[in-house]
Amino acid sequence: QVQLVESGGGLVQAGGSLRLSCAASGRTITNYAMGWFRQAPGKQREFVAVQTRSGGSTLYEDSVKGRFTISRDSAKGTVYLQMNGLKPEDTAVYYCAARKIALLSTMVSAYDYWGQGTQVTVSS
């Protein structure tokens, strides 16, 4: 089992940047595909980005392509989401998730472990 703790959220103006971190403990993150999801008020949780266990492949939701980058430091057991060019519509609680199966997935139900989330608010 792995425990996930997100950090790095906050309030930023449109066009600004934030870097979210997800610290994993309990098991090495090389055992998991690692993803980021977000949930805005009144909306369902949605996929943002995912990276394979090796870090060799990534997948992004269309609206964040070219602006967000997922990466990992396996030695530190940490996954990152670099967010540039933030827009008000990016405002949400962002969640880190781990999937035991190696295949990439954009589905919430495919992930086995979740963090508690970190709030990102982008002002216009």
Cβ-based neighbours of 64, under 8 Å, separated by 6 or more: 48, 49, 83, 90
Q: For 77-107, how does the pLDDT look when each residue is reduced to its tens digit (9 = 90+)?
A: 999 999 999 999 999 999 999 999 888 999 9
Beta carbons within 10 angstroms of residue 117's beta carbon: 18
Q: For 25-74, how does the pLDDT look when each residue is reduced to its tens digit (9 = 90+)?
A: 877 888 899 999 999 999 999 999 999 988 889 999 999 999 999 999 98
Assigned token pair, 112? 């086995």
Residue with tokens 């979210």: 20
- Residue pair 59/106 in contact (Cβ under 8 Å)? The answer is yes
Distance CA 68, CA 79 (A): 13
